[in-house]
Amino acid sequence: GENVEQHPSTLSVQEGDSAVIKCTYSDSASNYFPWYKQELGKGPQLIIDIRSNVGEKKDQRIAVTLNKTAKHFSLHITETQPEDSAVYFCAASKRVGNTGNQFYFGTGTSLTVIP
């Protein structure tokens, strides 16, 4: 089965600095990699995703990179703000059956942005 590792488990940055969270996966069949942000008392919310035919994707202050050969992908947040403080989860997904995908989640990174 798939094994997704995520590092670091906790991360503190000063407001305005960049934050980077890294994940590795083991199954070369995984072809879709979403990132979720979970705020206290809420469910995980999709913030950005990348598919295996793309190496990088950017959405304003958030970017994700994917290295299929090395089987790792990273989340980059620039110009961090206090509202970026949350727990972030990476996931690797592969097709299962005819209609769905199996998602495998990382262990999460608790990001704190210090004002």
Residues that bind other proteins (CB under 8 A): 31-32, 34, 36, 41-46, 49, 51, 89, 93, 95, 99-101, 103, 105-108
Residue with smaller CB distance to other proteins, 50 or 77: 50
Amino acid at the residue 60: Q
Nearest to 104 by CA among 95, 113, 112: 95
Instruction: Give the nearest distance from C-beta 37 to other proteins in angstroms.
Output: 11
Q: Work out how close the CB of 42 gets to other proteins at its nearest, in angstroms, rounded to a whole number.
A: 5
- State the minimum distance, in angstroms, from the CB of residue 51 to other proteins: 7
Q: Which of 80-101 are b and which e, b meaning 16 or more Cβ less than 10 Å from the residue's Cβ?
A: beeebbbbbbbbbbbeeeeeee
Q: Which is nearer to other proteins, 29 or 114 (CB)?
A: 29
Residue 27: C-alpha distances to residues 10, 23, 93, 102 (Å): 25, 13, 9, 12
Q: Which is nearer to other proteins, 44 or 66 (CB)?
A: 44
